[in-house]
């Protein structure tokens, strides 16, 4: 790894914290009330990554606002019951922070629920910047949120890695000019992510320390 990398940006859902069951349950709750018995768990996988607005507009353009509201109500109510962190995340993030890396989050979820997830997993102490959906006009894969995070951190794209579990993260990083890192625990699978040609794929979050040649503490 080129030693010039000093900044690591992370997606949140599906990368640092395991919100898969929460997201799937939230979609099934909303869609089940509009379209009983039509959607199964695996039907939800394509909706993970895009914004809620993009997803619900593709399903029912007339009901987008009320579907988003119903989703968020269920999601927030059930958040702390269903969210956990992925193995090795806390220790790896702590080590990166202690080693002097600038670290941030770039996510397509709203800041209110970002704060809930970070507080629940005790990760809120580590991040220098969070760019959420309500901070930008154009979410990933547009480069805007990644470039905004880099600007706030005083970093350049060539000094940064974008780490995520979805095509939006890899393409967003490429569009912004960062190196890109996929995570093998993506719900869509390692092979799916490999198709977008990230620079690296992690089998475990601690693999990031090996790539960066950082000693665990």
- Residues 31-46 have a mean pLDDT of 95
- Report pLDDT for 214: 87
Domain map (residue ranges) of the chain? 7-18+84-212, 20-82
Distance CA 168, CA 82 (A): 24
> What's the pLDDT tens digit per position in 119-130?
999 999 999 999
> In which residue are the tokens 């992690």 written?
202
> Is 21 among the residues known to form the active site?
no
| C-alpha distances in Å from residue 12, one per residue of 20, 73, 130, 172 | 11, 20, 10, 14
Hey, do 7-18+84-212 and 20-82 end up sharing a CATH topology, with the first three levels equal?
no
- Report pLDDT for 216: 63
> What's the pLDDT tens digit per position in 40-78?
999 999 998 889 999 999 999 999 999 999 999 999 999
Dihedral of alpha carbons 112, 90, 127, 161, sign: negative
What letters, b where the CB count within 10 A reaches 16 and e where it falls short, cover 195-204?
A: ebebbbbbeb
- Residues 165-183 have a mean pLDDT of 97
CATH of domain 7-18+84-212: 3.40.50.1000
- Residues 82-109 have a mean pLDDT of 96
CATH entry, 20-82, from 3.30.110, 1.10.357, 2.60.40, 1.10.150: 1.10.150
- Report pLDDT for 49: 80
Q: Which residues contact 172 (CB under 8 A, 6 or more apart)?
A: 106, 140, 141, 142, 143, 145, 146, 162, 164
> What's the pLDDT tens digit per position in 140-160?
999 999 999 999 999 999 999
> In which residue are the tokens 């080590």 written?
95
Q: Which of 11, 13, 18, 169 is catalytic?
A: 11
């Amino acid at each position: 790894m080129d030693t010039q990398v000093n900044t690591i940006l992370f997606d949140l859902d599906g990368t640092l914290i395991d919100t898969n069951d929460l997201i799937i349950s939230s979609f099934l709750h909303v869609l089940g009330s509009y379209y009983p018995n039509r959607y199964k768990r695996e039907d939800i996988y394509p909706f993970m990554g895009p914004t809620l607005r993009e997803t619900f507009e593709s399903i029912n353009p007339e009901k987008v606002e009320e579907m988003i509201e119903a989703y968020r109500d269920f999601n927030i109510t059930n958040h702390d019951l269903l969210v956990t962190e992925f193995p090795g995340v806390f220790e790896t993030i702590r080590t990166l922070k202690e080693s002097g890396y600038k670290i941030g989050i770039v996510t397509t979820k709203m800041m209110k629920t970002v704060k809930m997830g970070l507080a629940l997993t005790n990760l809120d102490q580590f991040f220098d910047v969070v760019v959420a959906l309500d901070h930008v006009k154009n979410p990933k894969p547009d480069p805007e949120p990644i470039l905004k995070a880099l600007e706030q951190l005083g970093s350049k794209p060539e000094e940064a890695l974008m780490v995520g579990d979805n095509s939006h993260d890899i393409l967003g990083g490429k569009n912004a000019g960062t190196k890109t890192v996929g995570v093998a625990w993506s719900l869509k699978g390692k092979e799916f992510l490999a198709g977008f040609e990230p620079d690296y794929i992690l089998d475990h979050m601690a693999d990031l320390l090996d790539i960066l040649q950082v000693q665990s503490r």
